[in-house]
Amino acid sequence: MIAVASEKGGVGKTTIATNLAVYLKALCEDLPVTIASFDNHFSVDQMFALGPRPEHSIAGLLEDVPPAELAVLGQYGVQYMASSRRLQPPSHAPGWMRQRLHSTELPGILILDTRPILDWFTEAALLAADLVLVPVKDRAALVNAGALRQILASVDRTTRLWLLPSLVDTRAKLNAEVRVHEFLTYAARERDYQVLDICISKSPKVESLASGFSSRIRPVLTHARNTAVHSQLKQLAEFVLSRFDAESKLLNCRHTGLIPDVFPGMPVGHRHRLILECPFCCRQSLSEGGHFYFDLRSRRRGFIHAACFEKVYGDLGLDDDSHGLVALTIDGPGLVGPECRLAVHLFDTDGGLLNSEEIELKGRKPLVDLLSMMTGQSLDESYREFILVNRVAQSADDQLAEGAYRRFSSHRRQVARELRQAGLF
């Protein structure tokens, strides 16, 4: 997944995103390429749409429509998701979008064109992306890139961000010796950014492709091959393909819902429900392991990093450090009133109930976001949830081994029976 993002308008985000899709497809015909835009200018539709408007739009990403059903085949062999004029951010944390997209059957490369503001949708695209391209054409755009880097730094993903000098007149100079694009590159690297050795030139010919009497926007590949931008976009596409090849094994695991070959004995049904990232920090957790969790309703399972678990568990203020299981039961607002209710139940290693305590959710946004990521839906939409967490941190190899997984399942059933008999679930 690639996000093309900038808080500053007029830096060429959409031009880069749409043409990158075309060049990727031209360089690698067998690679599925999909593009979608959170902006409401419909440039993606004007370049790729074929025939009548599709039944669904990108708004379906925020609902229950599978992303693979949202993508329709468009011009130049590129799939696209129809744009929407009015997108309302959901109640989920922005990190939810990463799990939403990574748990789908959408193959290949997905390009996300973002809005020129740092809103819910832009933050969601940043957190979802495996590669973030930030076009910069002047000092203001370079300064604004800091806010994007801060979002990625919060989940330790700054290495995914690359600055791309864009819409720069390569002849323009700040003085007799320093050109504008050279200064931008120097200033960016001085601020410890990764900068592409590519500069997308300012070109009247390219700018004219999005204007004129026709509502159709034409790509550089077919209508401006005689410009310098053609070779620059080709270099950009080659850079993206090199990154894709380097991560293809991991991307294949994510898109197909499979887990690495170290768990070949695990049932296929379990693989499709295994979340590869920590629901707290959204970083990959399968290789590190941690505290295993299981949500009964959605059958989602995964690992919470040990450090993330300590932050959440410490915030609950529970005076207990024994080894065993933690059961979280959530009664939705339709059952108990205007707000949902969370109860935490502690069990010993034999499955015996030690203590139960109701937890106040108000003012605990990190906890609410964590529960939403674990269940796969907003707590406002929940009815009755049951989540079981192993208080012992383990590697994925140990936890998902056949014997250990069978013991966890047995304890899960025992805990559920215990809570039902006590009238707590």
- Structural domain count of the chain: 2
Residues 299 and 212 both lie in one domain: no
pLDDT of residue 104: 64
Mind listing the pLDDT tens digit for each residue in 231-241?
999 999 999 99
Residues 242 and 312 both lie in one domain: no
Whether the per-residue pLDDT at 22 is higher than 70: the answer is: yes
Residues 416 and 361 both lie in one domain: yes
In a domain, 255, yes or no: no
Whether the per-residue pLDDT at 258 is higher than 70: the answer is: no
Whether residue 400 contacts residue 266, with contact meaning beta carbons closer than 8 Å, is answered with yes
pLDDT of residue 404: 84
- Mean pLDDT for 120-131 is 94
* Domain span including residue 315: 266-421
- Mean pLDDT for 19-43 is 93
- For the entire predicted model, the pTM comes to 0.69
Q: Which of 250, 280, 305 is the last residue of a domain?
A: 250
Whether residue 187 contacts residue 142, with contact meaning beta carbons closer than 8 Å, is answered with yes
In a domain, 257, yes or no: no
Tokens 């989602």 sit at which residue? 300
Distances (CA, A) of 11 to 110, 124, 135, 219: 21, 20, 6, 17
- Tokens encoding 68: 């693979």
pLDDT of residue 178: 79
| Position 106 confidence tier, pLDDT thresholds 50, 70, 90 | confident
Q: For 264, list phi and psi in degrees, rounded to 5.
A: -65, -20
| Strand pairing report for 2-4 and 33-37 | unpaired
Residues 226 and 323 both lie in one domain: no
Q: Which of 199, 221, 250 is the last residue of a domain?
A: 250
Residues 9 and 43 both lie in one domain: yes
Give the separation between CA 330 and CA 349, rounded to whole angstroms. Answer: 23
pLDDT of residue 336: 62
Alpha carbon 122 to its chain centroid, in Å, reads 11
Whether residue 297 contacts residue 305, with contact meaning beta carbons closer than 8 Å, is answered with no
Residues 234 and 279 both lie in one domain: no
Give the separation between CA 64 and CA 43, rounded to whole angstroms. Answer: 25
Q: Which of 196, 222, 250 is the last residue of a domain?
A: 250
Give the separation between CA 231 and CA 237, rounded to whole angstroms. Answer: 10
Choice between 204 and 403, residue whose per-residue pLDDT is larger: 204
Residues 98 and 139 both lie in one domain: yes
Give the separation between CA 314 and CA 293, rounded to whole angstroms. Answer: 17
Residues 73 and 9 both lie in one domain: yes
Residues 246 and 272 both lie in one domain: no
Which of 65-69, 396-400, 415-419 is most confident? 415-419
Mind listing the pLDDT tens digit for each residue in 173-184?
777 777 888 888
Distances (CA, A) of 20 to 60, 136, 178, 397: 24, 16, 29, 39
Q: Which of 66, 409, 107 is nearest to 266 (CA)?
A: 409
Residues 211 and 295 both lie in one domain: no
pLDDT of residue 262: 42
| Position 361 confidence tier, pLDDT thresholds 50, 70, 90 | confident
In a domain, 170, yes or no: yes
Q: Is 348 left (phi over 0), alpha (psi -120 to 50) or beta?
A: beta
Whether the per-residue pLDDT at 269 is higher than 70: the answer is: no
In a domain, 260, yes or no: no
In a domain, 372, yes or no: yes
Whether the per-residue pLDDT at 143 is higher than 70: the answer is: yes
Residues 105 and 162 both lie in one domain: yes
Whether residue 206 contacts residue 227, with contact meaning beta carbons closer than 8 Å, is answered with yes
In a domain, 405, yes or no: yes
Helix (H) or strand (E) run with residue 196 in it:
none
Average pLDDT of the residues of the chain = 85
Q: What CATH number has the domain bearing residue 221? A: 3.40.50.300
In a domain, 365, yes or no: yes
Whether the per-residue pLDDT at 167 is higher than 70: the answer is: yes
Give the separation between CA 91 and CA 111, rounded to whole angstroms. Answer: 24
Residues 69 and 146 both lie in one domain: yes
In a domain, 216, yes or no: yes
